[in-house]
Structure 1
Amino acid sequence: MYPVKSDPHSSGEVWRALRAAAPQTVPVFAGYLVLGMGYGIFVQSLGLPVWMPMLMGTVVYGGSLEFVLASLLLSAFSPLSAFLMALMIQARHLFYGLAMLERYKGYGLRSFYMIFAMSDETFSITCSAEPPEGVDRGWFMFFITLLDQCYWVASAGLGAVVGSVLPFSTEGVDFVMTAMFVVIFLNQWEKEKQHVSALIGLLVPLVCLVLFGAGSFLLPAMACILVLLVALRRPIESIEAKHGETEVPK
């Protein structure tokens, strides 16, 4: 007799995939709880509705982009500027998508959702995590993606609720966005073997600030950074490789 193949869409297979995926996402939950609540409180400090963080987390789900969009909602209507800014901020997802083309192929509608909801953290997990034996890979990656987004949406909603009932003024809490980007920058500085890309990210905005003024420097700066990083990609990679060769093994 031939062995009977299990249906990957059966409730048992789906449940096993969920149980296998959940432990992989615990670190993401811890990080999203803090950042998501900070985002929800930040949105409340701008005077936007309580439901806005959850809506943006569901429809946009862009992390740092959501912080920027919250401020854009209160500025002058400029769809082209908003589009270009979103494209610049999330440009790294183009490379994520190319890297995951093979891994996400053949899973039907699940593939479309996993492509839409691929965050930095989800990308890191799905690149390295392997499903246990007997667990369907498609459902495994799907639930990692879904759980991560649920953590963000729930944390942002919780932060918005907390921000709406805080007994003290939240004025100035919008500095959380600046602080977040500073921490990300310092973290990348410590991890990188070369600092060319970081210095480009610091110097180009300063030059554009002088040339274009405080109200118009952001888009030219991001465009120049993108062009320079693409043009200098090979020299930067060469510097990284040389640093790697000169490192003394522990």
Structure 2
Amino acid sequence: MVYQRSWRMAFQAAFPATIPVLTGYLCLGMAYGLLMAANGYGPLWSVLMSAIGFGGSMQYAAVSILVTAFGPLQAFLLTLMVNARHMFYGLSMLERYKGLGWARFPLIYTLSDETFSLVSTVDPPEGVGRREFFLCISLLDYSYWVGATALGGLLGSFIMFDTTGLDFALTALFVVLFLEQWKGKEHRPAGAAGVACAVVSLVVFGPDNLVIPAMVMILAVLLGGRKLLCA
């Protein structure tokens, strides 16, 4: 009874925090499901990609890979570049997830950009366990994505229209998340440093190769100037 109550309290505390992710994932997941359907892949395939791969932006990029001649090396390098950011913010969560035992495995698996944005800034309220709270946030976000993908895939089986521009929905969500972070003055120095590193990487390495160099520069700047940036 106490165990069930602790999970109920964690869910009640976590759900309001995930509502912005719910609204974003509803649009993004449906757009992805529609894109998959438009390229000949039914709801089952899009749901399996979301449930197993759970790559967000890489899932969008994978649509073009699925409909062209498969190149293993190209797919590997593209996945590495698109998802390289996970290595950096994943490392920053080691301390926050410390001592959570078995829960670390589903927490790591379901860690996405939006979930990271929540669990790195939101603390569980008094009386709510860290493990239950973080798990509820992570699993709720995961279920939003998979559910929205299923809905988009089902709708795509019946609605046929021009899907040009749907893949921009993910970029739009990142912009919104950045603006939300920018509202807090304490986050602005780090945000400005990230933008500057991205611009430098774009100029030096070009639009096709900017992700990994930008991540390396951002990590170096944040580690080297963490006292100044966090002041």
Q: 1:227 aligns with which of 208, 213, 218?
A: 213
Q: Moved runs in structure 1, 4+ residues, more than 6 A?
A: none
SS in 1 for 2:43: coil
Cα displacement (A) at 1:188: 5.8
| Matched residue type, 2:165 | F
Among 153, 156, 161, the alignment partner of 2:149 is 156
Paired position in structure 2 for 1:67: 60
Counterpart position of 2:199? 199
User: Which stretches in structure 1 are left out of the alignment for 5+ residues?
Assistant: 1-5, 207-217, 246-250
In structure 2, distance between residues paired with 1:84 and 1:94: 15
- Give the Å deviation of 1:21: 1.2
Superposition deviation, residue 114 in structure 1: 0.4
Measured after TM superposition, the shift of residue 126 of structure 1 is: 0.8
Q: CA RMSD in A?
A: 3.1
> Contact (CA 8 Å) 1:43, 1:160: kept in 2 or not?
yes
Q: Is the 8 A contact 1:37 1:155 kept in 2?
A: yes
Structure 2 CA distance for aligned equivalents of residues 21 and 188 of structure 1: 21
| Residue 185 (structure 2) aligns with | none
Change in 2 beyond 3 A, CA 1:24/1:178: closer
Alignment correspondent of 1:95: 88
Alpha-carbon displacement from aligned partner over 1:175-217 (angstroms, at most 9, x marks no partner): 32246437746986997536543434544336xxxxxxxxxxx
3-state SS of paired residue (1:103): coil
Contact 1:104 1:111 in 2 (8 A): yes
Aligned residues: 216
Equivalent residue of 1:193, what SS? helix
Alignment of structure 1 residues 128-139 onto 2, 5 Å: 128-139=121-132
Query: Residue 199 and residue 111 in structure 1: after superposition, are their counterparts in 2 closer, same or farther (change >3 A)?
Result: same
Q: 119-128 vs 141-150, which deviates more?
A: 119-128
Match of 1:175 in 2: 165
- Equivalent residue, structure 1, for 2:30: 37
Query: For residue 26 of structure 1, what is the amino acid of its counterpart?
Result: I
**C-alpha distance in 2, partners of 1:22/1:95?**
26
User: In the alignment, what sits opposite 1:81?
Assistant: 74
Judge conservation of contact 2:85–2:215 (CA < 8 Å) in 1. Answer: no
Change (3 A) 1:14 1:228: closer
- Structure with bigger gyration radius: 1
8 Å Cα contact 2:197-2:217 kept in structure 1: no
Residues 26 and 145 in structure 2, CA contact (< 8 A), matched pair in contact too: yes
Identity of aligned residues (%): 36
**TM-score normalized by structure 2?**
0.79
- Sort the Cα spacing of 1:110 and 1:231 in 2 relative to 1 into closer, same or farther, 3 A: closer
1:96-120 deviation digits (Å, cap 9, x = unpaired) = 1111112212222211110111111
Unaligned runs of 5+ in 2: 183-187
- Per-residue CA deviation, residues 38-88 of structure 1 (Å, 9 max, x unaligned), is 111111111112212211111111211110112212222222221221111
The one-letter code sitting in structure 2 at the alignment partner of 1:77 is F
Shift of 1:25: 0.7
What is the TM-score when the length of structure 1 is the normalising length? 0.74
Cα pair 1:45 1:174 within 8 Å, conserved: no
Q: Secondary structure at the match of 2:127?
A: coil
2:45 equivalent to 1:52: yes
